[in-house]
Amino acid sequence: MARYVVIGAGIVGLATAHRLTLDHPDATVTVIDKEPRVAAHQTGHNSGVIHAGVYYKPGSLKATLCRAGSASMVAFAEQHGIPVETCGKLIVATSADELPRLDALFARATANGLPVRMLSGAAAREHEPHVAAVAAMHVASTGIVDYRAVCEVLASLIAAGGGRIMLGTAVTGFRDGVVETGAGDVPADFVINCAGLQSDRIARLAGIRTAARIVPFRGEYYELREDRRHLVKGLIYPVPDPRFPFLGVHLTRMIDGSVHAGPNAVLATAREGYSWGRFSARDLAEVAAFPGMWRLARRHLGYGLAEVRRSLSRPLFARGLARLVPEITEADLVPAEAGVRAQAILPSGELVDDFLIESRDGQVHVLNAPSPAATSSLEIAKHIVARLAAVSPN
């Protein structure tokens, strides 16, 4: 009887454990997480968007798993009574110089087989009456859901399938056939590392040499005051600039009816640093010693400084949002919970653009799974379990 240990009780780890209980009902499945609850980090601070797969290179894991995942996540939520809505979103060009980028994005979305339509500015305002747009792309298959609720259901399904979830338990080491933890040894024929912000550290602890290094970027959010939520009916995104690594601030109606604005993206002062006050000397020292971070910083210095300025200035943040919806002012914004993105970076300074999953005998390591990993999680789980069939046990 095979023994599977999944490290990480975020949505990718839980989805993988659930898939293992379905595909291998006679196996033992154990999930280990150092936090006292599931979905404590990236998943629990997620914007709740079910992405369609617009932005990703055709044929990449992100493109294929996101498109499949957007459908399977909606179906999973509906099956288990989790509130979900396929509301669609607008990606808007606010000036004529953004139109070529919007056209290129439309071509990519079409290549990915997505239901998208180009709209005039007037047609865009039929979807979002307060938006500023000279043109827009409507993405019909984008949705919203509560990923924490998804994780709670996954955890209950794992338990019902005979699996075990060990919370408040840190992994301390590995040896043949065993995962060492603060609560004792856990036998393991197969180890699946879905540790997110700590995934590269877990991989190194397990003896995996990987060039990629996790660098944490904090995504800072505001939300609109309740009396100003009417300004946004669904999701409004800017046309991304391909020269820069992030999408830019946008507006997202959440499943509870609130409207989140952001995220701003700045280097976090700790891997789990959800505010400027959360500081880790160890984490910052690792970033400072990594040549890839300095190369990335030099390449995007102006962009990074602009993000820091916006982080420290609510008027600047509001000005960025007003490009999309001119009626939004500083007074409309209320601080909201931030998130941290675990982004893998190569020594060259390039961001790892696709999901990065490495394997060796008895081990599969998910080393880059930022957005759209939550959307894609049920499909990532299938991908991981399929890869396990090709690796020998410990």
Helix (H, G, I), strand (E, B) or coil at 136: strand
User: What does residue 30 show for φ and ψ, rounded to 5 degrees?
Assistant: -125, 130
Q: Which residues pair with 90 in a beta bridge?
A: 138, 236
- Beta-sheet pairing, 3-7 with 28-32: parallel
Specify the amino acid at residue 141: S
Q: Which helix (H) or strand (E) holds 4?
A: strand 3-7
Q: Find the mean pLDDT for residues 294-320.
A: 87
The string over 53-79, giving b where at least 16 C-beta atoms fall within 10 Å of a residue's C-beta and e elsewhere, is bbbbeeeebbbbbbbbbbbbbbebbee
Nearest-5° angle of CA 364, CA 369, CA 111? 110
| Cα distance between residue 280 and residue 277, in whole Å | 10
More confident position, 310 or 52: 52
pLDDT over threshold 90, residue 312: no
Q: What is the pLDDT of residue 139?
A: 98
Q: Answer whether 163's CB lies under 8 Å from 265's CB.
A: no
Q: What is the pLDDT of residue 45?
A: 92
List the structure tokens of 135.
């043109």
How high does pLDDT run on average in the chain? 95
Give the Å distances, CA to CA, from 201 to 176, 255, 370.
18, 34, 16
Sheet with 84-85, side-by-side order of all strands: 49-50, 143-145, 84-85
pLDDT over threshold 70, residue 244: no
Q: What is the pLDDT of residue 94?
A: 96
Q: What is the pLDDT of residue 245?
A: 62
Nearest-5° angle of CA 230, CA 232, CA 238? 160
Q: Find the mean pLDDT for residues 217-245.
A: 91
Q: What is the pLDDT of residue 246?
A: 73
Cα 392 to chain centroid distance, Å, stands at 30
Q: What is the pLDDT of residue 52?
A: 97
Q: pLDDT (tens digit, 9 = 90+) per residue, 377-386? A: 999 999 999 9
Q: pLDDT (tens digit, 9 = 90+) per residue, 82-138? A: 999 999 999 999 999 999 999 999 999 999 999 999 999 999 999 999 999 999 999
Q: Which of the 8 DSSP states describes residue 152? A: H
Q: What is the pLDDT of residue 20?
A: 98
Q: Find the mean pLDDT for residues 241-255.
A: 83
Output the DSSP codes for 223-269: EE-GGGGGG-SSEEEEPP-TTSSS---EEEE-TTS-EEEEEEEEE-S
Query: What is the number of helices (H) and of strands (E) in the chain?
Result: 11, 21
Q: Find the mean pLDDT for residues 329-345.
A: 95
Of 366, 29, 380, 41, the closest CA to residue 179 belongs to 29
| Residues of the chain above pLDDT 90, percent | 87
- Beta-sheet pairing, 135-139 with 116-120: antiparallel
Q: Where residue 317 falls among pLDDT bands split at 50, 70, 90?
A: very high
| Cα distance between residue 36 and residue 157, in whole Å | 19
Token look-up 């994005």 returns 105
Q: What is the pLDDT of residue 301?
A: 82
- Beta-sheet pairing, 3-7 with 190-193: parallel
Q: Which helix (H) or strand (E) holds 30?
A: strand 28-32
| Cα distance between residue 137 and residue 92, in whole Å | 6
pTM metric for this prediction: 0.96
